[in-house]
Structure 1
Amino acid sequence: MSLGGQPTGERRPDRAALVIAIVLIIAGLGMGWGTFTSGGVSMSTPVGPKTVPYIIAGALVILGALTAVAAMRGDFPERERQDFPPMLWIIGGLAVQLLTMKSVGFSIATGLLFAATAKGFGKGPLWKTIPIGIVFSFVVWLLFAKGLQLTLPAGPLERLFQ
């Protein structure tokens, strides 16, 4: 026994897992409430368009409760220490893509995300990964826009081929 009255080696509740449990429960309750209060569909049949959202909401609440129990028991394995700079590169790249998609188009914005993600994983210099990402993204844009006739944001590069 340790001085605190707990056996040595017993783990404390996992706070990160408790936060995840709370988020799962809130998401489930929010989805359930949103489904309950949404109008337009009568529930004259036992199975209808509101059934699946209720099932998903219930599953989220149950998973949140089970996650909370496991967190309180300390059942989660020890996690490695987080390395924040790579995560910041990836999150920053996603933010740049979301903020520039309409102004510079799909290919350039997604190419920047590709380069930032590569940098986050420690691969290649930006001067090399940005053009590679733009080329790959442009090929994806061509497949979706021309091959599947789907609309993706077009910028100066995409307008050359419209």
Structure 2
Amino acid sequence: MSSPSAVAEQAEVPKPSWWRSHSELGVCVFLLALGVLVLTNALTIPSDFTQRGPLGPKAVPVLVGSLLMLVALLLAREVLRGGKAQAEGGEDIDLSTPADWRTVLVLSGAFLANAALIDFVGFPISSAVMFWGAAYALGSRNTVRDPLIAAVLSVGTWLAFNELLGVPLPGGPLMGVF
């Protein structure tokens, strides 16, 4: 038989709130809002927009927005029926270590530098800065190889979009070269 103090200790354990036990609904709300945003933006694409092939420019965004909303509703139904995702077991990572905020900040800085520079120096140079910054943030410190790979990747991507896909990206100083 258990003592009265043990029973009192068991009774004092707070039961998690309804929102705490259904926290996955936050993901559902995010997915639903994202789906609505994608769908409404897709439906505002002008119908006289250039069309190549049987599908117009609205087809893929409408499909993606609709699928996001469908996934949000199916996930919400599963959560409300009592389904619960399993916590990450951390197959090869230590879940007790804190997040590496330095890496996150350097990656964010590289991305923001790309966004800030693209109109002034063009896609090839701004994306080379981003690729090089991402390599540095993720631990690469090769001062010869990293900028060279970043330059090849960014110029190759720019050429692929401009020449092969017909999607004009700002070229900056390289605009007259190719």
The reply on whether 1:18 has 2:25 as its aligned counterpart is: yes
Equivalent pair of 1:110/1:137 in contact (CA under 8 Å): yes
Work out whether 1:27 is the aligned partner of 2:34: yes
Greater RCO (Cα-Cα under 8 Å, separation 6 or more): 1
Of the three residues 58, 62, 66, the one matched with 2:70 is 62
Using the size of structure 2 for normalisation, the TM-score is: 0.58
In 1: Cα distance, 2:121 partner to 2:70 partner: 43
Residue 77 (1) aligns with residue 87 (2): yes
- The Cα shift of 1:14 comes to 6.5
Counterparts of 1:140 and 1:113, CA distance in 2: 13
Does 1:103 find its partner at 2:120?
A: yes
Flag the 1:135–1:22 CA change in 2: closer, same or farther, 3 A: same
Q: Distance in 2 between matches of 1:33 and 1:132?
A: 39
Distance 2:164 2:69 in 1: 41
Superposed displacement of residue 100, structure 1:
0.8
Q: Deviations over 1:82-124 (max 9, x none)?
A: 4332222222212111211121122211111101111222112
Larger of the two Rg values belongs to structure = 2
Q: TM-score, normalised by structure 1?
A: 0.62
Q: Which residue is equivalent to 2:5?
A: none
Q: Which sections of structure 1, spanning at least 5 residues, go unmatched?
A: 7-11, 41-48
In the alignment, the residues of structure 2 paired with residue 20 and residue 126 of structure 1 have an alpha-carbon distance, to the nearest angstrom, of 41
Which consecutive unaligned segments of at least 5 residues does structure 2 have? 1-9, 48-55
1:161: which partner in 2?
A: 177
- Count how many residue pairs are aligned between Structure 1 and Structure 2: 148
Match of 1:122 in 2: 139
Letter of the structure 1 residue corresponding to residue 177 of structure 2: F
Residues 37 and 107 of structure 1, relative CA distance in 2, 3 Å threshold: closer
Q: CA deviation at 1:127?
A: 6.9
